[in-house]
Amino acid sequence: MKKLIFVVLLLLSTSCFAEALNDALKNIEAEWASIYYSTPKNQQGPAYVKLLDKTVNLVRQYPDAAEPIFWQAVVKATYADQQDAFSALDAIHEARDLLIKAIKINPETMSGSAYVTLGTLYYMAPKWPISFGDDEAAQQMLQTALKINPDGIDTNYFYGEFLLLHNKPGDAAVYFERAATAPARAEQLYADNQLKAEARLALKNTQNRKISDEKGLFLSLFNSASVK
C-alpha cells in the first residue's frame, strides 16, 4: 500500500510539474506573439529583453526540458532584428546553438518547430566567412520539420518561403496553401492565425514572385554594415 501511495504521489507531482511548465510556456508564447505581431518596432527591443529574462529563468527551472531552450533561442533570434550588426551576429549564433541543444534533448521539440527555426536561421544568416548561412543545411532542417509535422502551419509556411527565395514559386505555392488552410491550434490561436494570414498573402504573391521586405533580414543587415 505504501508503495502504491508513493507511485500515485509521484505521478501527481510529475503531472503538476508538467502543467506548471506548460502554463509558463503558453505565457511566453503569447507574450512573444504580442511583441512580434502587435508591438511597434521602436518598442520591441526592451520588450524582448524582458521576455528573454523570463526564458532564461525558465531554462534554469527546467534544465532538462527542451521547450524553454527553444523559446530562449526564438527570443534571441527575433531580438537580433533590434540590434546592431555585430550584436545580431552573436545573437543568431547563440540562437543556433540553443536550438541544436534543444533538438538533442528532444528531436521533436515543439512538433518540429525547433527544426523550422534552425532551418530558417540557416537560410537567413549570411554565408561563410561572415556567418553560418547554408542553404543545403536549411533545406535539410526544414524537410525534417515537415516529416515530424507534415500538416503544421509553420513547417509548411517556412518551407514555402525557402522555395520562393530559391525561385520556385510553383512549388512554394503548394506549401503556402497547406499553411493557409491548416487549422490553428487552440493554445496559440493568435500566432497561428497571424502566420496563416501571411501564408495567404505569400500564396497570392507567388504569382508575381514577390518576397516580403523582411526576408533575407540578416543578410541585408550585415551587407549594409560591411559597406560603412
pLDDT of residue 20: 86
Residue 74 lies in a domain: yes
Would residue 9 count as lying in a domain? no
b/e burial code for range 77-104 (CB count within 10 A of at least 16 → b):
bbbbbbbebeebbebbbebbebbebbbe
Reported as a single tens digit per residue, the pLDDT across 22-55 is: 899 989 998 998 998 899 999 999 999 999 999 9
CATH (domain of 201) = 1.25.40.10
Q: Record the pTM.
A: 0.82
Domain total of the chain: 1
Structural domain harbouring 47: 21-226
Comparing CA positions, the residue from 164, 156, 163, 161 lying closest to residue 180 is: 156
Q: Is residue 7 part of a domain?
A: no
Q: What is the mean pLDDT of the chain?
A: 84
Please give the share of the chain, as a percent, with pLDDT higher than 90: 64
200 assigned to some structural domain:
yes
Contact 69, 21 (CB under 8 A): no
Kind and range of the H or E run holding 225: helix 217-226
According to the model, what pLDDT value does residue 185 have? 81
